[in-house]
Amino acid sequence: MAPSKIKNFFAKKKAEAKLKFGGAGPGRKLNSTAPSPASSSKAGSSKDDVYIPPKRSEPSAQAKAAANAALARFEGKDKKEFNTSLAAIRAQVRKELEAEKKAKDEAGASEQQDGERQSAEQDADLKKDFAVQGVYFRCPMIGEEVLPYREWKGRIKEFLYEQLAADRGLTACLIIYNCNPKDKAEVCIETLAKCVENILNNPNEEKYKKIRMTNRMFCEKIKVCEGALEFLQAAGFAEIELDGEPHLIWSEDNIEPDCSVEVLLEALKASEAIPLELDRNLQVLLSSQVKRSNLPPDFFRISPEEIKREQQLRTDALEQAQILKTKAMREKEELRTINRYKFSLIRVRFPNGVYLQGTFNVYEKLNQVLEFVQSCLMHESAEFSLISPGGQKIDEPELLDKSLYDLRLVPTVVFNFSYENESRGLTDYLKEELMLLIQSF
């Protein structure tokens, strides 16, 4: 742009000069006489009267090269200065945009960190009020750790997949049972069993030895379950492409060594979920510590938020109705309440002011509570009884065989401990090693 403007400027000046001086006529010497009109009309015919400027010599090649080099330097310098300015502007804009983006990212990260920190602080504050920090399990088949349910499910899955190389068929059966939702696993097992039974019952029917992997039944009932493909491979199926589509083709030669289809079918039907044992999460508390009665989310069948919402709706409905509850209504309300819980927190208060605390499944028997208490006593053979909050002794055989759910001992209950008969004089209660578990604040 700049060089063209300069060239236009000089072209304009040249045109103005030509217009101004173009009609002045030929020049003449100052000491010459004025030409006659005739001679004036024939200007150029007389060499003495007309001034003829000397002809300029053609510039040398060296001069032309120098002129071209100067022009190139001028144009290059101007272009360079212009482009440098444009690049600088672009760089500055880019720098400002990057700085703005960085500031936004840092602000967002800071807000996220603040939110996470506040959430963690709120969780910590809530946990301080919990009577117990969670529900924990053991899995003797895999290890001795005490872990939450979700962690155990991940540990079990990891353990099973590690065993595939050693025994693919039987391990695949366990994976189907333990690594899929129960409803999907049941449908998958039923479908796989049907596929294998068809081969066993119809050994000469080729149609039962081929499964199209794009088949809707296969995709919805088998492919969606972990362990299903491994089971089919162990049973003799191999993946082969036919007519541009993937198929599973059965052959007796593909069956896992030291195995048979009959054994795998039996294992598929007989396998079970790897059991988890509820850990009692035994704690010994002082009277000042049993004030904490809130339960963590693991105790509930539904989320605490849903429970609060449900409670509020019922409260509002009762206030509007303003009716007296009948016995049947109270029982129905009580059942609705305890049905929310999967576990019950049992506490036993001893005469010395110490509390024993343990976690139980709501369907465990009351007798299991007594066995738990007995195992913690310094004198395990001593006679004792547990007294309910209503003052009733829990010693009737028909009560001991009932579940905590049936006895409405959900979600928390506090029993009073009492030695009976010849053991009344005993003043020692819990084992010494358990007394060391007393929590301090």
Question: What does pTM read for this prediction?
Answer: 0.63
Give just the sign of the alpha carbon dihedral 156, 161, 166, 170: positive
Per-residue pLDDT, 38: 43
Q: Which residue has the higher pLDDT, 131 or 39?
A: 131
Give just the sign of the alpha carbon dihedral 246, 247, 252, 257: positive
Dump pLDDT digits (tens) for 382-437. 999 999 988 888 878 888 999 999 999 999 999 999 999 999 999 999 999 999 98
Q: String of b and e for 419-441 (b: at least 16 CB within 10 Å)?
A: beeeeeeeeebbbeebeeeeeee
Per-residue pLDDT, 350: 97
Q: Which residue has the higher pLDDT, 75 or 105?
A: 105
Strand order in the sheet with 343-349: 283-285, 355-361, 343-349, 412-419, 384-387
Dump pLDDT digits (tens) for 138-177. 999 998 999 999 999 999 999 999 999 989 999 999 999 9
Dump pLDDT digits (tens) for 49-95. 454 555 555 556 666 666 666 555 555 544 444 444 566 666 777 77
Q: Across-strand partners of 386?
A: 417
Per-residue pLDDT, 78: 47
Dump pLDDT digits (tens) for 265-298. 999 999 899 999 999 999 999 988 888 878 888 8
Q: Which two tokens stand for residue 112?
A: 């996220």
Average pLDDT in the 358-385 region? 96
Per-residue pLDDT, 355: 96
Q: Strands 137-139, 237-242: parallel, antiparallel or unpaired by DSSP? A: unpaired
CA gap 341, 133 in Å, rounded = 16
User: Helix, strand, or coil here: 393?
Assistant: strand
Per-residue pLDDT, 370: 96
First-to-last alpha carbon distance for the chain, in angstroms, is 81
Confidence label for 47 from pLDDT (cuts 50, 70 and 90): very low
Looking at the chain, the whole-number percentage of residues with pLDDT higher than 70 is 69
Give the long-range contacts of residues 79-87, CB within 8 A, separation 24 or more. Answer: 79/2, 79/3, 82/1, 82/2
Confidence label for 333 from pLDDT (cuts 50, 70 and 90): confident
Confidence label for 248 from pLDDT (cuts 50, 70 and 90): very high
Confidence label for 300 from pLDDT (cuts 50, 70 and 90): confident
Dump pLDDT digits (tens) for 251-260. 999 988 888 9
Per-residue pLDDT, 43: 41
Per-residue pLDDT, 329: 72
Q: Which CATH architecture has domain 138-270?
A: Up-down Bundle (1.20)
Domain ranges of the chain: 138-270, 283-301+341-435
Decide if pLDDT at 332 tops 70: yes
CATH topology (fold) of 283-301+341-435: Ubiquitin-like (UB roll) (3.10.20)
Average pLDDT in the 204-229 region? 94
Per-residue pLDDT, 39: 42
Q: Which residue has the higher pLDDT, 20 or 325?
A: 325
The 8-class DSSP code of residue 130 comes to B
